[in-house]
């Protein structure tokens, strides 16, 4: 009977583990990871649905994976799941030329490009000189809540969990598995290695500011404000850098920039300073590879969009697996699909 290992307990790996185990209840599925929540990249992230820093991943894929994830978050919001909030988002540009209508505009609720009167209004409200911008309804999850619940879902479906660090594709831990789903994030850089995966360092602050009820992004200024269920995330940096220490210079940049947009943040208590390395790649890698008599399904390099694409990417991994299992009947005679 087919044995499946999913590598990585970040949002990408957990989603695959849950989807596979809930679909193939009788198959042996193990989740192998060196880190678990609250120590994954996603734990400190903004949890915002917005295609962002995902290289030149084809638009049609961003739209497909993004739309499925958006719908999933919408369903969760409707039923009060995973701490998902629904919020208006305002995205501002200082240089008009940098603005273009994104392909995914047609699939989000309430997409609207700001006219000159609105831009004048928001420039005043948020103390900027904005010459273009857009707004739409988006969803923000509470990453640690979602990650913890996904792990519980996987364990409730009898999925096995193993904390271990794999050293390579040939790691003896993987010997017994027929299918390896590779969701190792930045770890992919070292595992094979794939040096197209690079860190994009993001520093953020979390503050208590329950009076903030919208997402505001100043694209060129580099600052963003993302309310979550309990705190507000203030950002942020994106540097090609492995340094995971909080840098006081970045803290100042974040605080000053965000206070310019919303002066009331002066009164907000800072509860966390955090750095994460986005697993950045020229394009998300999501594809099967048959090698050493195994099926590998790669699913990594989501950059700044892990929480924007996870559900759609998980769905695609499931489809790849289904196609493979249908082709290889002998491997899963015992599973009831
Ligand atoms: C500051 C910041 C803000 C962000 N905000 C947002 C946002 O608002 N919205 C959004 O969509 N995205 C956001 N992101 C991006 C998002 O966090 C990532 O895209 C996402 O977390 C990637 O998930 P992942 O599961 O691929 O990687 P990770 O969470 O890094 O998980 C990788 C997993 O693989 C495991 N692993 C790696 N190598 C090995 C190995 N050799 N052996 C065993 N296990 C291994 C790790 O232990 C880990 O569990 C943000 C990122 C940062 C840094
Ligand atoms: C997270 O990291 C801390 C510090 O290294 C460690 O003590 C803790 O056990 C880790 N948590 C999990 C769930 O692995
Ligand atoms: C995951 O993919 C990366 C990049 O191709 C590779 O280096 C690594 O060996 C893969 N890991 C596993 C366990 O398949």
Per-residue pLDDT, 330: 53
Question: Residues with Cβ < 8 Å from 267, sequence gap 6 or more?
Answer: 209
Ligand 1 centroid to residue 98 C-alpha, Å: 28
Residue of 39, 44, 152 with the most ligand 2 atoms within 8 Å of its CB, for mutation: 39
- The band of 228, judged by pLDDT with boundaries at 50, 70 and 90, is very high
**Model confidence pLDDT, tens digit, residues 254-301:** 999 999 999 999 999 999 999 999 999 999 999 999 988 899 999 999
Q: What's residue 337's pLDDT?
A: 45
pLDDT score for 331 = 52
pTM, full prediction:
0.95
**Could you tell me if the CB of 169 is within 6 A of ligand 3?**
yes
Distance of alpha carbon 191 from alpha carbon 268, whole angstroms: 41
Question: Could you report how far apart the first and last alpha carbons of the chain are, in Å?
Answer: 13
Distance 233 CA to ligand 1 centre (A): 17
Distance 165 CA to ligand 2 centre (A): 14
Angle between helical axes of 143-156 and 11-23 (0-180°, round to 10): 30
Measured in residues, the chain has a length of 337
pLDDT at residue number 153? 97
Full DSSP string of 114-135: --HHHHHHHHHHTTS--SEEEE
Is ligand 3 within 6 A of the CB of residue 316? Answer: no
* Tokens coding 27: 């198959």
Q: Ligand 1 atom closest to Cα of 276?
A: 53
Q: What atom in ligand 3 is closest to the CA of residue 188?
A: 3
> How much is the pLDDT for 191?
74
Q: Is the pLDDT of residue 336 over 80?
A: no
pLDDT at position 304 is 95
Q: Rounded to the nearest whole angstrom, what is the distance from the C-alpha of residue 277 to the centroid of ligand 1?
A: 7
Segment 128-149, tens digit of pLDDT: 999 999 999 999 999 999 999 9
Per mean pLDDT, which range of 95-109, 186-200, 208-222 is the poorest?
Answer: 186-200
Maximum distance among all Cα pairs of the chain, rounded to whole angstroms: 66
Instruction: Report whether residue 331 contacts ligand 3, using a CB cutoff of 6 Å.
Output: no
Q: For ligand 1, what atom is nearest to the CA of residue 303?
A: 19
Cβ(27)–Cβ(178) below 8 Å: no
Distances (CA, A) of 168 to 54, 125, 188: 26, 52, 10
Cα gap 256→201, rounded to integer Å? 19
Contact 80, 59 (CB under 8 A): no
Residue 67 Cα to ligand 2 middle (Å):
33
**Which residues form the pocket of ligand 1, taking CB atoms under 6 Å from any ligand atom?**
7-13, 32-35, 40-42, 45-48, 165-166, 183-187, 191, 202, 204, 226, 236, 276, 278-279, 300, 302-308
Query: Which of 20, 17, 44 lies closest to 33, judged by CA?
Result: 17
Percent of the chain whose pLDDT exceeds 90: 86
**214-242 average pLDDT score:** 94
pLDDT class for 193, splitting at 50, 70, 90? confident
């Amino acid at each position: 009977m087919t044995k499946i290992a999913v590598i990585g307990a970040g949002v990408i790996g957990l989603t695959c583990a849950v989807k596979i185990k809930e679909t193939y209840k009788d198959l042996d599925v193990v989740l192998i990871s060196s880190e678990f929540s609250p120590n994954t990249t996603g734990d400190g992230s903004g949890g915002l649905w917005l295609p962002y820093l995902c290289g030149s991943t084809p638009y049609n894929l961003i739209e497909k994976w993004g739309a499925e994830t958006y719908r999933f978050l919408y369903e969760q919001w409707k039923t009060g799941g995973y701490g998902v909030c629904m919020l208006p988002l305002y995205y501002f540009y200082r240089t008009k030329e940098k603005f273009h209508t994104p392909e995914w505009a047609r699939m989000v609720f309430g997409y609207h490009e700001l006219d000159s009167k609105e831009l004048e209004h928001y420039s005043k409200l948020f103390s900027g000189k904005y010459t273009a911008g857009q707004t739409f309804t988006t969803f923000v999850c509470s990453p640690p809540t979602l990650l913890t619940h996904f792990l519980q879902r996987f364990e409730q479906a009898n999925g096995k969990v193993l904390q271990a660090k794999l050293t390579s594709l040939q790691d003896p831990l993987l010997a017994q598995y027929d299918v390896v789903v590779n969701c190792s994030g930045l770890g992919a850089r070292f595992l094979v290695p794939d040096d197209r995966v690079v860190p994009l360092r993001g520093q953020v602050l979390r503050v208590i500011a329950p009076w903030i009820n919208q997402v505001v992004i100043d694209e060129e200024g580099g600052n963003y404000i993302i309310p979550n269920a309990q705190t507000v995330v203030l950002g942020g940096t994106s540097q090609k850098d492995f340094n995971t220490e909080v840098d006081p210079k970045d803290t100042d940049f974040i605080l000053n920039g965000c206070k310019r947009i919303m002066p009331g943040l002066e009164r907000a208590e800072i509860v966390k300073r955090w750095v994460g390395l986005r697993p950045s790649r020229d394009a998300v890698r999501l594809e099967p590879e048959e090698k050493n008599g195994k099926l590998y399904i790669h699913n990594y390099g989501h950059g700044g969009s892990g929480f924007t694409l996870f559900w759609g990417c998980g769905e695609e991994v499931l489809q790849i697996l289904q196609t493979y299992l249908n082709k290889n009947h002998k491997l899963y005679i015992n599973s009831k699909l």
